[in-house]
């Protein structure tokens, strides 16, 4: 598809993009995602909804407007900096740089770690994976694991995996709605049973599985572990608290995480607000966590309700939000 002058002109006024969710059925998946997103489908064990994805073979398909039916990365190739921002296009080319998901874990996930960009490139991969979690309304008993509790060496780590004691070295958190965890590449982590969350990460699907609680798959086999690969990319530093600190506040953007891969804020609104992106050279993703609102750009009004995610192209100047809504905002 060639971008004509007419396309460019219409594009200036074509702002808010919605996608078809990519639903992932997995052994550990729960039953919250379908009703949360108000989808009219019958599926069990949906563990993930990939909201915005440029991951190869798992690309989001546009669900509205003049580009309906197109794959996200094809739209990046077509609109370039107009969609993602000039600097982002220079940095990432035709691959959309973030992967955004809702995750519902009915059972504990494996303990895992992701390599950083440098480690990934050395191993012939495009990039590593830094991510963050925003905890949504979860089960009363819900927990997760994030980070090392005390110092261990790479050799001690391997021994603990072998003798099933690796969980003793990890920090366990009881989670509640609004908790935020920043997971730089290299930090060991695992989502626990009953946890429902929004995840924002680099576009990458690289995971090194460290430990899977001796569970067997449907064929009676243990799942493959990546003990050696993981040992080389674990961050062995110990921190006091792996939760991100922020003070919730109504009717203003509260920054949760800022890193070179993404900046994410939360908005909890019950009065109208204008979001000003006129100085930002990036796309913006909005993920609705609760409530609903109307997003207005002056040319277009779009409803955003709990469970939906929209993409604002980099050409977007301002967006007026009206309604009672809580959403995450993220950009690169």
pLDDT at 44 over 70: yes
- Round to whole Å and give the CA distance between 10 and 98: 25
Q: Grade residue 14 by pLDDT with cuts at 50, 70 and 90.
A: low
> What pTM, to 2 d.p., does this model score?
0.94
pLDDT of residue 217: 80
Dihedral sign computed on CA atoms, order 252, 254, 255, 257: negative
Q: What does DSSP assign to residue 71?
A: B
By the 8 A CB rule, do 318 and 274 touch? yes
φ, ψ dihedrals at 327, nearest 5°: -145, 160
Q: Is 319 helix (H, G, I), strand (E, B) or coil?
A: strand
Task: Give the E-state strand segments of 90-232 in sequence order.
Answer: 98-105, 111-113, 131-135, 143-148, 170-174, 180-183, 189-191, 195-202, 208-211
Structurally, at CATH architecture level, domain 253-331 sits in: Sandwich (2.60)
Task: Give the E-state strand segments of the chain in sequence order.
Answer: 17-20, 22-30, 46-52, 61-62, 98-105, 111-113, 131-135, 143-148, 170-174, 180-183, 189-191, 195-202, 208-211, 253-258, 263-269, 273-276, 284-296, 301-305, 309-312, 318-331
pLDDT of residue 283: 98
CATH number belonging to domain 5-233: 2.60.120.10
Q: Where are the domain boundaries for CATH 2.60.120.10 in the chain?
A: 5-233, 253-331
Q: Give tens-digit pLDDT for 275-292.
A: 999 999 999 999 999 999
Residues of the chain above pLDDT 90, percent? 86
By the 8 A CB rule, do 314 and 75 touch? no
- Write the CB contacts of 298 (distance below 8 Å, at least 6 apart in sequence): 318, 320
For the beta carbon of residue 31, count every other beta carbon within 10 angstroms: 13
pLDDT at 103 over 70: yes
pLDDT at 138 over 50: yes
- Of the given ranges (20-29, 104-113, 141-150, 207-216), which has the lowest mean pLDDT? 207-216
């Amino acid at each position: 598809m060639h971008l004509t002058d007419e396309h460019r002109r219409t594009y200036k006024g074509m702002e808010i993009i919605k996608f078809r969710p990519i639903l992932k059925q997995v052994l550990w998946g729960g039953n919250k995602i379908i009703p949360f997103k108000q989808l009219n489908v019958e599926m069990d064990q949906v563990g993930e909804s990939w909201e915005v994805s440029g991951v190869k073979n798992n690309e989001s398909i546009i669900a509205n407007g003049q580009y309906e039916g197109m794959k996200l990365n094809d739209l990046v190739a077509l609109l370039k900096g107009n969609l993602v921002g000039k600097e982002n296009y220079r940095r990432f080319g035709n691959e959309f740089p973030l992967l955004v998901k809702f995750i519902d874990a009915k059972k504990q996930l494996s303990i895992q770690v992701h390599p950083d960009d440098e480690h990934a490139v050395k191993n012939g991969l495009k990039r590593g994976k830094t991510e963050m979690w925003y905890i949504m309304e979860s089960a009363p008993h819900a927990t997760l694991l994030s980070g090392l509790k005390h110092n261990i060496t790479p050799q001690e780590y391997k021994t603990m995996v072998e003798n099933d004691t690796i969980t003793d070295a990890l920090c366990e958190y009881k989670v509640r709605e609004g908790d935020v965890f920043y997971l730089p590449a290299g930090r060991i982590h695992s989502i626990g049973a009953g946890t429902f969350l929004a995840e924002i990460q680099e576009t990458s699907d690289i995971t090194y599985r460290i430990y899977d609680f001796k569970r067997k798959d449907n064929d009676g086999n243990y799942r493959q572990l990546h003990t050696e690969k993981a040992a080389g990319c674990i961050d062995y530093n110990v921190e006091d608290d792996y939760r991100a600190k922020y003070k919730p506040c109504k009717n203003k953007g509260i920054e949760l995480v800022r890193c070179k891969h993404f900046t994410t804020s939360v908005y909890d609104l019950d009065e109208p607000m204008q979001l000003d992106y006129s100085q930002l050279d990036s796309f913006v993703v909005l993920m609705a966590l609760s409530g609903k609102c109307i997003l207005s750009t002056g040319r277009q009004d779009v409803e955003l309700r709990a469970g939906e995610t929209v993409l604002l192209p980099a050409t977007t100047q301002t967006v007026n939000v009206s309604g009672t809504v809580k959403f995450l905002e993220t950009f690169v």
